[in-house]
Structure 1
């Protein structure tokens, strides 16, 4: 957004997008606020582990991702506010009056670049580089082990949501993790895009040697209903033995390093290869 001056190493971060909560915590910096969004509702999710008590004991929800509450943000006395233009560009001036504010261009596919940006804002560039390098090494190790054991299997990612069913491609969060691991994708998903939407007639497009499936937990249960309809379809029958159900929270909404480590761990368990160790 231009130039932001951060006078001292931040100790009270307001992370207005879930990926920046992940990034701040993994960079050993206290988070005092976050916004509620789908899976994050009044408390930080379990996949963030011990960091929730070590670095987020004071963290409070300050409204929703769509509508952060400026008064609540100010009450937490942050010394840095971090978000993305795609989320809160219109609030930049107001947020900047509360504390130095840094915004990435976007979220999602740029999650690794956003960790580097967060490292810069927190004065933790070295740790950010170290954390990213550790993840890249682990991804390659897990992927190499899977390819050696299972003969370079193709990996499909299907998500049932409260709308058209999606196949996740190379520029999605899970797609980036698969790519980092060097895992092959079926033709329908080996595309430099985010996702393809499919109807029940195109179930075969979801086929691969291993099919990972997540179901978004919408309030009306529409995603689960669609999943049941797909699974009852005769076209799904040959796919069913290759399906592995995975948590939507970590595989889809946890767009950050902590989530990426969980995906690697789940992949290792699925193919029975050694777990990656995140120290």
Structure 2
């Protein structure tokens, strides 16, 4: 457990929530309670938003990896009810918690919005992928902590600016981001969690990745398109070993071995949780730490 997460999640002064307000969100407008005490969060990035504000939800969507939480948030999730994956929320469990506010995402939960709204006031962010900062501000507003949320983002922006300055000429490297899964390989572009952070830092990207899209879904025949001055790659494996096996096969492929970044020894395996799956502010801070360590920055 990296110590700064616990500090960041507990050091925010918990000022009282503002007066009741009408929140405009992806599914319309919702009157939120003055001081919500029993908050349910239905996305992984939303869970990290709440934790960074010092809020422990009563229920949350399961982490995509972990049992049921990612290692880096597990110490902060004691007593939280797992509610199923983001796209498989157990509505009966949500209702049983008697929440006074539900936070979800239209991309995941549009079809159950009416049912969620019948349980408690429900606020929906619009998209996932690269929108974690937009969503963060909405969640902070919904829980009556817009100012505190802005302070958290400003502190994060300061970390980004400091790391960017320290990276200096390294930012000219065209950085390639690759994700291996059991059935496909993804070449990540700008509208992705890691893509947004790399852009904020000022890194260059290979031309095929330097577009405002999410990702290209390809096979091993497209490995030549994965090259860059430096490659970061990560693997999604749900525990059955298929993702790890697919990664091993790809890395052993002669096409991969012939990439210029591979031949130069500028390839780094990083955490799928941190660089992609968790998708929130705590993971973003960990990704900054990873980059600093890889580039030898204190």
TM over 0.5: yes
Residue of 100, 113, 122 corresponding to 1:101: 122
- Determine whether 1:36 maps to 2:62: yes
Between stretches 59-68 and 7-16, larger displacement belongs to 59-68
Shift of 1:245: 0.7
Q: TM-score, normalised by structure 2?
A: 0.84
Number of the residue aligned with 1:154: 174
CA contact (8 A) 2:130 2:195 kept: no
- Determine whether 1:181 maps to 2:201: yes
Shift of 1:202: 2.8
Shift of 1:151: 6.4
Number of the residue aligned with 1:14: 40
Number of the residue aligned with 1:193: 213
Number of the residue aligned with 1:136: 157
Q: CA RMSD in A?
A: 1.8
Shift of 1:16: 1.0
- Determine whether 1:116 maps to 2:137: yes
Number of the residue aligned with 1:259: 283
Distance in 2 (CA, whole Å) between partners of 1:186 and 1:135 is 26
CA contact (8 A) 1:144 1:182 kept: no
Shift of 1:147: 2.8
* 1:32-55 deviation per Cα after TM superposition (whole angstroms, max 9, x unaligned): 11122531442x2222375x1xxx
Distance in 1 (CA, whole Å) between partners of 2:168 and 2:177 is 17
- Determine whether 1:273 maps to 2:297: yes
Say how many residue pairs are matched: 268
Number of the residue aligned with 1:77: 98
Distance in 1 (CA, whole Å) between partners of 2:55 and 2:267 is 38
* 1:249-275 deviation per Cα after TM superposition (whole angstroms, max 9, x unaligned): 11110111111111110000000112x
Shift of 1:154: 1.9
* 1:78-99 deviation per Cα after TM superposition (whole angstroms, max 9, x unaligned): 2211001111122222222222
Number of the residue aligned with 1:277: none
Runs of at least 5 residues in structure 1 that lack an aligned partner in the other structure: 275-279
Shift of 1:182: 0.6
* 1:169-188 deviation per Cα after TM superposition (whole angstroms, max 9, x unaligned): 11111000000001111122
Distance in 1 (CA, whole Å) between partners of 2:32 and 2:192 is 32
- Determine whether 1:26 maps to 2:41: no
Distance in 1 (CA, whole Å) between partners of 2:110 and 2:66 is 21
Distance in 2 (CA, whole Å) between partners of 1:49 and 1:74 is 23
Number of the residue aligned with 1:92: 113
- Determine whether 1:216 maps to 2:241: no
Instruction: Give 1:155-170 correspondences, 5 Å limit.
Output: 155-170=175-190
Specify whether residues 88 and 197 from structure 1 end up closer, same or farther in structure 2 by C-alpha distance, changes over 3 A only: closer
Distance in 2 (CA, whole Å) between partners of 1:142 and 1:6 is 37
Distance in 1 (CA, whole Å) between partners of 2:186 and 2:58 is 34
Runs of at least 5 residues in structure 2 that lack an aligned partner in the other structure: 1-26
